[in-house]
Amino acid sequence: MTETEGYVDQAMMGLAEPQPMYKALRESTPVFHSPQSVVLSRLADIETALKHTELFSSNMDAVDLGNVRPLIPLQIDPPEHAKYRRILDPLFTPREMARREPGVTALVNDMIDRFADRGECDFHSEFAVPLPCTVFLQLLGLPLEDLDKFLEWKDGVIRPEGDSGYDRRHETSAPVAQQIYEYFDRAIDDHIASPRDDVLSAMIAANVESEGRPLSREELLDICFLFLIAGLDTVTDSLDCFFVYLARHPDHRHQLADQPDILPTAIEELLRWETPVPGVARVAIQDAEVGGCPISKGERVSPLLGAANTDPAEFPDPEVVDFNRNPNRHRAFGGGPHRCLGSHLARMELRVALREFHRRIPDYEIKPGTQLTYTAALRSVESLPLTFPVASPVSNPDSNPVSKP
């Protein structure tokens, strides 16, 4: 095995610090034909792959999650793609997300209340996992007691048990996918019977402008399925990556605790550096050439967003994490037509989480002796034990400590 193959293999396994791998790839084999896919690591080539959907499709051949129809809008390419984004984008604008911010702030504080007096927590299982899942259930108007079921399902399709590579993915994730379709089918019935102020009701009421019709049952299901995959794990990954970084870099952490105003740009810089979704999946639908290298029709292509985000052609001193970096044209949310639909939801969740956590627990460290295990493909850690001083005088202003068990 060559050194480059070794790096790519590690990337698939999940890396604590992938940035040196990105650099090595970019400098040695920027268009790398691995056994699984053609890995792109230069920003210019990644841009090409993300923007030229007529060459590099995001269709069902790019990644298999057990779904039986294309996920909407991820697996639908332009021009048809636009009709769905026209319905969905307005539901996820910064303004729409700001409306949800007070509710998320209360939720985050409730979660911190559960471990603040303990002096330690498993940040991953007690915070990073339940936060985005609970927000997702609230946003779609689904019962909060379905949380555990959702967690099992999203892991079942994103990290199927005994996952042995692309070709056997379908058979392991298909049964889980079936349960997901059935669940949302019932949820849609329920929302049709009693509409309310949530994203699912809004989608049911929406009109496909160009065709003058509502979304069909199958289209609704295909959107819900995608939301489950795209909306839960990615924010968990971001929180895990950010808190590992901040635990290990006290100066950066103090900057956040001391100057909360810096949060929005700090989050962009952490997104750039950590790139919690390190790559996306495409498939060549025509013979093409990228960076002088031929790519054949049918080959899978992996634009490494993390490598784009550390490319010195775009970012001066890419290895320096600077919370004031400007400009910061990172691609952590991808780019082109399939740019992350939920980016403003993610930003809002991350902003609230980092603001409230550091207001209440400004100092913490990773429990000594902990070996962090990063998961494959999307960068979460299996467990993140944090320890911190108790009896912080700053408490949750919204809660009455007497009533807490």
Partner 1 sequence: MTRVSVDADRCTGHGRCYTLAPDIFDADEVGHSIVRIREVTGELEKHAVTGEQNCPEQAITLSP
Q: Toward partner 1, which CB reaches closer, 86 or 252? A: 86
Question: Least distance to partner 1 from the beta carbon of 329, Å?
Answer: 5
Question: Least distance to partner 1 from the beta carbon of 60, Å?
Answer: 22
Distance from C-alpha of 30 to C-alpha of 293, rounded to nearest angstrom:
10
- b/e sequence 186-204, b meaning 16+ C-beta within 10 Å: ebbeebeeeeeebbbbbbb
Q: Toward partner 1, which CB reaches closer, 101 or 171? A: 101
Task: Give the β-pairing of 38-40 and 300-303.
Answer: parallel
Distance from C-alpha of 12 to C-alpha of 42, rounded to nearest angstrom:
18
Q: Toward partner 1, which CB reaches closer, 237 or 314? A: 314
Question: Least distance to partner 1 from the beta carbon of 295, Å?
Answer: 23
Q: Toward partner 1, which CB reaches closer, 183 or 227? A: 227
Distance from C-alpha of 252 to C-alpha of 191, rounded to nearest angstrom:
45
Q: Toward partner 1, which CB reaches closer, 50 or 55? A: 50
List CB contacts of 241: < 8 A, sequence separation 6 or more.
270, 274, 276, 379, 380
Question: Least distance to partner 1 from the beta carbon of 227, Å?
Answer: 17
Q: Which two tokens stand for residue 321?
A: 């994490």
H or E element, residue 282: strand 282-284
Question: Least distance to partner 1 from the beta carbon of 200, Å?
Answer: 19
Binding site for partner 1 (CB under 8 A): 85-86, 89-90, 92-95, 264, 326-331, 333, 335-337, 339, 343-344
CA distances from 70 to 20, 38, 55, 226, 288 (A): 35, 22, 18, 9, 24
Q: Toward partner 1, which CB reaches closer, 30 or 334? A: 334
Question: Least distance to partner 1 from the beta carbon of 88, Å?
Answer: 9
Q: Toward partner 1, which CB reaches closer, 168 or 329? A: 329
Q: Where are the alpha helices (DSSP H) in 318-372?
A: 343-360
Distance from C-alpha of 302 to C-alpha of 38, rounded to nearest angstrom:
6
Determine whether 68 is exposed, middle or buried from the number of CB atoms within 10 Å of its CB (0-12, 13-18, 19+): middle
Question: Least distance to partner 1 from the beta carbon of 150, Å?
Answer: 26
